[in-house]
Amino acid sequence: MTEAAVLGFGTVGSGVVEVIDRNQAAIRVQFPEGIHVKYILDLRSFPDSPYADKVVHDINVIREDPEIRIVCETMGGMEPAFSFTKSFLEKGVSVCTSNKELVAAHGPELIALAKANRCSYLFEASVGGGIPLLRTIESSLVQERITAVYGILNGTTNYILTKMAREGADFDATLKEAQDKGYAERNPESDIEGHDTARKIAILTSLVSGSTFRYEDVYCEGITKITAADFKYAKTLGMSVKLLGVSRRDPETLEFHVLTAPFLVSCEHPLYSVNDVFNGVFIHGNMVDDLMLYGRGAGKYPTASAVVSDVIDCASHDGRWITRRWDPEVIEPGDRLSEVRRFFVRTDADSEEAARKAFPGLTVVTADGMEGEFAFVTDRVTEGEFEGKAAGLKLRNRIRFLN
Amino acid sequence: MTEAAVLGFGTVGSGVVEVIDRNQAAIRVQFPEGIHVKYILDLRSFPDSPYADKVVHDINVIREDPEIRIVCETMGGMEPAFSFTKSFLEKGVSVCTSNKELVAAHGPELIALAKANRCSYLFEASVGGGIPLLRTIESSLVQERITAVYGILNGTTNYILTKMAREGADFDATLKEAQDKGYAERNPESDIEGHDTARKIAILTSLVSGSTFRYEDVYCEGITKITAADFKYAKTLGMSVKLLGVSRRDPETLEFHVLTAPFLVSCEHPLYSVNDVFNGVFIHGNMVDDLMLYGRGAGKYPTASAVVSDVIDCASHDGRWITRRWDPEVIEPGDRLSEVRRFFVRTDADSEEAARKAFPGLTVVTADGMEGEFAFVTDRVTEGEFEGKAAGLKLRNRIRFLN
């Protein structure tokens, strides 16, 4: 029996304890000695929980128990999660986490610390919830040169955008409803401004490159400016609006171009039917071509399942370090303004002449009830060209095309 | 350097040699000593190939070279692939293959032989081409009780059905065009009668159950009876017709219900946008809920990429057996006639009264230009009930609903 401890008995932490308990028979098929949760660390007590007798309030009880081989850090946030994680890795105890803030900020440092102490720091649950995304990149695609990773990485914003698309509702009303239902947090900034997606695409870019792509270097736009009007036009285009994290490696410069922004996605593209709280991520390799992984990007049991997959991996490799290619060396982001794409643009009606002059190859787009403005799709232009040309227009909104 | 040999220099085999050659730098990141192809076995010579000097015509050259640690069997078919595979495993040389016929027929025997000789028999490429499907089940979902696996597992039939859906064409004409383009074989029976999908869903069911689900026990219908008329109705239903392999574990009896047949798939379902030669597979776990993996189910480089992922796995585990849960014990299939679902049904016009009597909850379906027949969707019924009731009707076609 491999002894484990869970730090933080919130949604994900309690899910981890339940998955290990309820699916122990399945786990023992692959790992016959089994996994046992000996301690749960939380400031609170849970007298009515079937796991009440495992709860401790002092981290030192866990630190000083030599039986503990694996710790699940499901506290979230930077401190004390960071200090706790370091203290366990320094003792050669592996740590598995769903804490994307900590991974995005200190991933390479914690991976190096694990390696130095012959244990592992794994974080499958930090990106894409229950989707086995990182393990696929690290263990099934070793033979690939990965040239792009992109997709829907945040369930809250995808829920909001899906609802706006289906019901024609406006952003503010839909956000409020999502908050009332518990799908969006009271302070939704990290989700709706794209920061959560930025952290995740930075983690993915780092794993693909083997170096550190800092999440502060991800160009980031959220969904707060997306309106019901945008969805009307999207519908006539046979498209929908999705918040994507996009990481593309330039085949010539080998630089990574990484951004988070709303994109128009065609109904022919598999990401179009990634709806509600689901996530979907495309990986493009030079040999395997396109792969997509789809699943629940959040939620108690899916996220806990991903944490437990890491626990089993650690238990099967006790005393050995599981490779995660993520060096501390920081890579410079590629020049966003050189990226080529098409834009959907809405301007005031009196900008039509200027727009036709600036973008001679434009395609006009119309939608019912959207008189009094001029909307169009540009030819392929660089972001820099677009910004220069659009500066002379009375812009209402502009949304990037995927492909 | 780990020395490998490739048996069969056809499409997949030559792809394997190229992937290992061209992506050697990527491979060395994870496996620093690298992989080297020392021999290629083929009856033919390839004087113009850059790999001509590796080609040998005698299997004994490879068998007798103690440097060879891994063999890629990309010959296909039963013999001599089966004998060759056994002879290498008996010597402790791992074998990686794309040969689904051999895996479906002798998988558990070859896995046991590998285990007894401390080497591995891996077959990622045998199901879903480039999609890392088996490794996901075996290494990322150990903590799950998998209750269903289903999806599009054959690229040829998906290409044909996608074309019929888009162009309103008939089956025979579309098959001929697919053959002319090389997407379908001259003898297409294995694909269009569903046998290829049946083999793959049998392999998946075996891996999920840990026992052997014989592919002869998969209930199997192909796509030869699907017509342009069916697609007209599907369109009015907001659906499309897809050939699926479906494996469902009954939560009470724990029996596996496994079949291959055309299904009507709603445009809301992510399998709807799995088009052309792509494959898409859903996995349902009791904790992670729905996952889908999507990618190229065939083709030289995607399939070769999957073979090479196995090669790297073997190289990283030389002298150890990589667990594949697949015992020779045969499991009995669940009773197909007890499965509950809805059916889309087309009958002669004069069967309307009998149909309404047999299926009082039916929903009538109409489509342009389809006068002179009666079409409807049944309520949820068992397959057995349906067969009994439909026996009294002049049936033109019936297609199962997914969900």
Asked if residue B373 belongs to a domain, the reply is yes
Mean local confidence (pLDDT), A70-93: 97
CB-CB under 8 Å, B275 with A273: no
Q: Are residues A157 and A286 in the same domain?
A: yes
CA distance A273 to chain B (A): 6
Q: Are residues A31 and A123 in the same domain?
A: yes
The dihedral through the CA atoms of B53, B55, B59, B62 has a sign that is positive
| Pair A116, A260: CB distance under 8 Å | no
Q: Are residues B214 and B91 in the same domain?
A: no
Q: Which residue in B100, B200, B242, B389 is the catalytic one? A: B200
Q: Are residues B117 and B147 in the same domain?
A: no
What b/e sequence results for A242-260 when a residue is b if at least 16 CB atoms lie within 10 Å of its CB, and e otherwise? bbbbbbbbeeeeebbbbbb
Which residues 6+ apart lie within 8 Å of A150 measured at CB? A201, A244, A245, A246, A247, A248, A281, A282, A402
Q: Are residues A20 and A49 in the same domain?
A: yes
pLDDT band at B181 (very low <50, low <70, confident <90, very high): confident
Q: Are residues B67 and B121 in the same domain?
A: yes
Question: Domain boundary residue among B316, B346, B361?
Answer: B316
Cβ neighbourhood burial of B371 (10 Å; 0-12, 13-18, 19+): exposed
Active site residue B357: no
Percentage of chain B beyond pLDDT 70 is: 100
CB-CB under 8 Å, B275 with A288: no
| Residue spans of beta strands (DSSP E) within B231-372 | 239-249, 256-266, 278-285, 289-296, 340-341, 343-348, 363-364
Asked if residue B106 belongs to a domain, the reply is yes
Cis peptide before B80 (omega within 30 of 0): yes
Q: Are residues A176 and A272 in the same domain?
A: yes
Which three-class secondary structure state does DSSP give residue A11? helix
d(CA A398, CA A379): 14
Q: Which of B191, B107, B205 is nearest to B150 (CA)?
A: B205
Question: Chain-wide mean pLDDT for chain A?
Answer: 95
- Segment (H or E) for A279: strand A278-285
Q: Which residue of A139, A210, A286 is in closest CB contact with B139?
A: A139
What CATH number has the domain bearing residue B52? Answer: 3.40.50.720
Q: Which residue of A130, A144, A313 is in closest CB contact with B26?
A: A144
- Which residues in A lie closer than 8 A to residue B136 (C-beta atoms)? 132, 135-136, 140
CB-CB under 8 Å, A145 with B30: no
Predicted pLDDT of residue B98: 95
Question: Domain boundary residue among B296, B330, B349?
Answer: B296
Is the confidence at residue B39, as pLDDT, over 80? Answer: yes
Q: Which of A97, A137, A91 is nearest to A16 (CA)?
A: A97
**Number of domain units in chain B:** 3
Q: Which domain holds residue A258?
A: 140-296
Q: Are residues A198 and A116 in the same domain?
A: no
Q: Are residues A268 and A154 in the same domain?
A: yes
Mean local confidence (pLDDT), B139-150: 95
Tokens 């040969």 correspond to what residue? B99
Asked if residue B222 belongs to a domain, the reply is yes
Asked if residue A325 belongs to a domain, the reply is no
Question: Domain boundary residue among A267, A296, A325?
Answer: A296
pLDDT band at B225 (very low <50, low <70, confident <90, very high): very high
Please, what is the end-to-end C-alpha distance for chain B in angstroms?
50
| Pair A292, B294: CB distance under 8 Å | yes
CB-CB under 8 Å, A288 with B130: yes
| Pair B4, B72: CB distance under 8 Å | yes
What are the pLDDT digits (tens) for A184-232? 888 999 999 999 999 999 999 999 999 999 999 999 999 999 999 999 9
Asked if residue A322 belongs to a domain, the reply is no
d(CA A183, CA B17): 49
| Pair B271, B151: CB distance under 8 Å | yes
Mean local confidence (pLDDT), B331-351: 96
Q: Are residues B15 and B45 in the same domain?
A: yes
What CATH number has the domain bearing residue A395? Answer: 3.30.70.120
Predicted pLDDT of residue B319: 76
What CATH number has the domain bearing residue B239? Answer: 3.30.360.10
Q: Which residue in A54, A100, A163, A200 is the catalytic one? A: A200
What are the pLDDT digits (tens) for B188-207? 999 999 999 999 999 999 99
Q: Which residue of A29, A270, A323 is in closest CB contact with B325?
A: A29
Give the global pTM: 0.94
Asked if residue A228 belongs to a domain, the reply is yes
φ, ψ of residue B78 to 5 degrees: the values are: -85, -50
Asked if residue A383 belongs to a domain, the reply is yes
- Which residues in B lie closer than 8 A to residue A30 (C-beta atoms)? 138, 142, 323, 325
Asked if residue B331 belongs to a domain, the reply is no
Please, what is the end-to-end C-alpha distance for chain A in angstroms?
50
Query: What letter represents residue A295's amino acid?
Result: G
Is the confidence at residue B323, as pLDDT, over 80? Answer: no
Q: Which of A36, A24, A93, A35 is nearest to A59 (CA)?
A: A93
CB-CB under 8 Å, B313 with A301: no
CB-CB under 8 Å, B132 with A291: yes
- Alpha-helical segments (H) within A122-245: 133-135, 155-167, 171-180, 189-192, 195-209, 228-236
CB-CB under 8 Å, A285 with B295: no
Q: Are residues B31 and B62 in the same domain?
A: yes
What are the pLDDT digits (tens) for A312-335? 999 988 777 777 789 999 999 999
Q: Which residue of A285, A293, A301 is in closest CB contact with B305?
A: A285
> Tokens representing B174?
């579309």
Predicted pLDDT of residue A84: 98
Q: Are residues B291 and B305 in the same domain?
A: no
What are the pLDDT digits (tens) for A258-286? 999 999 999 989 999 999 999 999 999 99
- Which residues in A lie closer than 8 A to residue B242 (C-beta atoms)? none
Question: Chain-wide mean pLDDT for chain B?
Answer: 95
pLDDT band at B270 (very low <50, low <70, confident <90, very high): very high
